Amino acid sequence: MRIIISACSVVRDPRATPKPLLQQSSWSSLWHLEAETSEAMSNGSAGSRPPDMTNPGRPRAQESFPEPPLMKAVFTHLSYGILILLGHVCDFLRKLGMKRDPYTEALKNEDLFKMNLDFEMFFTRNIYRRIRDCWNRPIASAPGAYTDLVDRVSDDCNWTFRYTGTKTNCLNLGSYNYLGFAENTGPCADAAYQSTLDYGAGTCSPARELGTLDVHKKLEALVARFVGKPAALVFGMGFATNSMNIPALMGKGDLLISDQLNHASLVTGAKLSGATVRVFKHNNMKSLENVLRRAVTEGQPRRLRAWRKILIVVEGVYSMEGSVCKLAEIVRLKKKYKAYVYLDEAHSIGAMGPTGRGVSEYWGVDPADIDIMMGTFTKSFGAAGGYIAANQDVINYLRGASHSTTYAASVPAPVAQQIITSMTIIMGDDGTKEGEKRVAQLLDNSRYFRQRLTEMNFIVYGNEDSPVVPILLYEPGKVTSFSRELLKKKIAVVVVGFPATSIVEARARICLSASHTRDMLDYALKEINEVGDLLLLKK
């Protein structure tokens, strides 16, 4: 088989990364940029790790992405095979008229217009629908450490839900509440309330027209100071911060090198920009260097001229994997090949680093080395929106050229006030040690939880310091049972399966928070341990 593979490797896609001829042929070759993420990650993170020149004394946190055990992977495939077979049988019986359910009843209604193709909704209808009580659970309180879940039952196999009228107070392990600011009491809530009385609910105008208030100026100055850059710009929506500003920065003739597992907002921005996009394997610095080398030596595809500029787009913490980008190495490569770096800190701002300043502080990288730092206020600040921080020139340009500042409404004043108050607390400028305490509590929680889970022999992905802890579940039945069993024990977790993740890597993604105490985590760990024994989730 290897002979065939190497003989066929002469047929190459020019857009893919090159493979050195004498390298051992692994299945994760140039065609598998979208697949085999765990294998790519284990190739990248194991093995040679360059020394951390910026901070030699720091102990290096371990990052691991063990490949799925073969038997579990095979059984996962067989499970999906059986589910799909049964789904086709159900569809067949529906066609014959022998199976009646709300779907067939809806089809009989001549007035209803079919919005979706039958086959495209196969998965939703036959697989997702059966277990959809595990997702989109309505809550009736702020998503803090505990949250009230509205109870619902289904009498017809999850076609419809009926509310029983009661609520369950559950331990919340699923919300992006890293520093615990998702609370509706306290200084942030009071300040936001006052701001609503002063400014109203929204600005109803883009930033370039009437939408820039004094709170925005204050917020931008504060964000710039927090992140360590000369200037910053804030936007009303985190997704739009990426998708509207990358097109303003990049254009035709530019090269955008993006990590394999970048978020959809970055991919949307990249596609909209018109630049050439190349992908490197997730967190794999050798792959990034290969792509850079090839780009710099070959130039643009047909004209063979130099690229106008090269931008490396990475995220600080990848929320589905729990991995942390190797920022020190990326900055070294960027300086060597004269590229620029765009760092998306959606999940890492406030959550990583000794004082919560993000992955640049975590790795000890000077923020001046990162050309554009982007982040969102949704996760650690209990608000909404995003920011971009860079040099004054870049920010001046973006103020005029960004789609968001021209067409989208700016950040509402109460939200801006919430961010200002929470950021002040995190920085310690309010005079208390609250911010310091929260950041330290989050790091302690992350490390403790992950360590205990690994001791219990669960398969856990990610970096030891990251607050996102994915527990691998693999089979679709286990995904469902895990969620339901924990709900019975009053713990709310988020589980993710195919097609959002790879087919063999369905997982439960636990997001830790500074508002979780040790007791809460111990309770959660005890219950997860029992469920793990029940469902045979351990190694």
Residues near another protein (CB under 8 A): 1, 4-5, 8, 11, 13, 27, 29, 31-32, 34-36, 38-39, 67-68, 70-74, 76-78, 81, 84, 116-117, 119-124, 127-128, 131, 135, 239, 258, 260-267, 320, 476, 479, 496-500, 502-506
Residue nearer to another protein on the CB measure, 265 or 405? 265
CA 305, CA 255: separation in Å to the nearest integer? Answer: 12
CA 287, CA 258: separation in Å to the nearest integer? Answer: 11
CA 132, CA 349: separation in Å to the nearest integer? Answer: 32
**Shortest Å, Cβ 36 to another protein:** 6
**Shortest Å, Cβ 487 to another protein:** 17
Residue nearer to another protein on the CB measure, 349 or 495? 495
Residue 315: which residues within 8 A CB-CB, separation 6 or more? 259, 261, 262, 263, 266, 325, 343, 344, 345, 346, 347, 348
- Helix, strand, or coil (residue 164): strand
Give the N- to C-terminal CA distance of the chain in Å, as an integer. Answer: 31
Residue nearer to another protein on the CB measure, 125 or 438? 125
- Helix, strand, or coil (residue 320): coil
Residue 58: which residues within 8 A CB-CB, separation 6 or more? 52, 364
**Shortest Å, Cβ 301 to another protein:** 17
Residue nearer to another protein on the CB measure, 145 or 506? 506
**Shortest Å, Cβ 204 to another protein:** 27
CA 474, CA 503: separation in Å to the nearest integer? Answer: 8
Residue nearer to another protein on the CB measure, 5 or 201? 5
Residue 147 half-sphere exposure toward CB, CA atoms < 13 A: 27
**Shortest Å, Cβ 107 to another protein:** 18
**Shortest Å, Cβ 257 to another protein:** 14
If we measure between CA atoms, which residue out of 511, 492, 404, 421 comes closest to residue 136? 492
If we measure between CA atoms, which residue out of 145, 64, 61 comes closest to residue 441? 145
Q: Is the peptide bond before 102 cis (omega within 30 degrees of 0)?
A: no
CA 268, CA 287: separation in Å to the nearest integer? Answer: 22
Q: State the Cα angle at 377 between 372 and 380, rounded to 5°.
A: 110
Find the DSSP H helices in 366-433. Answer: 392-401, 403-407, 413-427
If we measure between CA atoms, which residue out of 294, 288, 293, 296 comes closest to residue 313? 288
Beta bridge partners of 376: 386
Residue nearer to another protein on the CB measure, 79 or 290? 79
One DSSP character per residue, 207-258 reads TTTT---HHHHHHHHHHHHHHTSSEEEEES-HHHHHHHHHHHH--TT-EEEE
Structure tokens belonging to residue 318: 């990848």
CA 361, CA 379: separation in Å to the nearest integer? Answer: 18
**Shortest Å, Cβ 136 to another protein:** 9
Q: State the Cα angle at 35 between 340 and 323, rounded to 5°.
A: 55
**Shortest Å, Cβ 119 to another protein:** 6
Residue nearer to another protein on the CB measure, 81 or 354? 81
Residue nearer to another protein on the CB measure, 115 or 197? 115
- Helix, strand, or coil (residue 510): strand
Structure tokens belonging to residue 173: 């392990």
**Shortest Å, Cβ 468 to another protein:** 15
Residue nearer to another protein on the CB measure, 34 or 530? 34
**Shortest Å, Cβ 223 to another protein:** 24
**Shortest Å, Cβ 267 to another protein:** 4
**Shortest Å, Cβ 13 to another protein:** 6
**Shortest Å, Cβ 89 to another protein:** 14
Residue nearer to another protein on the CB measure, 116 or 297? 116
Residue nearer to another protein on the CB measure, 450 or 507? 507
CA 369, CA 388: separation in Å to the nearest integer? Answer: 15
When computed from its CA atoms, the radius of gyration of the chain, rounded to whole angstroms, is 24
Residue nearer to another protein on the CB measure, 84 or 456? 84
User: Which DSSP state fits 190?
Assistant: H
**Shortest Å, Cβ 479 to another protein:** 7
Look at the alpha carbons of 6, 12, 16, 21 in this order and tell me if their dihedral is positive or negative. positive
Structure tokens belonging to residue 40: 């790519």
Residue nearer to another protein on the CB measure, 54 or 502? 502
